[in-house]
Amino acid sequence: MPLIQVNVIKDVFTPAQKRDIISRLTDAMVEIEGENMRPVTWCVIHEVASGDWGIAGNALTTADVHALAAGVSV
């Protein structure tokens, strides 16, 4: 059974956005594997604490992600 795992930094996405992520990723998998697999396609969002996620040796915070989304260089 498919298991989609999504890792995000805590407090970046709203509950509504997380529901949208789950719905859209499930739809994408079902498009590939067939509608009969929808009831057994799992999607889990894991939230990583702000600062516990690193890119290129630098910790990334919730504020950094919000700045990136707004088009500001971090």
Contacts of 8 (CB under 8 A, 6+ apart): 45, 46, 47, 48
pTM of the model: 0.88
Residue 7: count of CB within 10 angstroms of its CB: 10
Predicted local distance difference test score (pLDDT) of residue 28? 98
Query: From first to last of its 74 residues, what are the pLDDT tens digits of the chain?
Result: 899 999 999 999 999 999 999 999 999 999 999 999 999 999 999 999 999 999 999 999 999 999 999 999 87
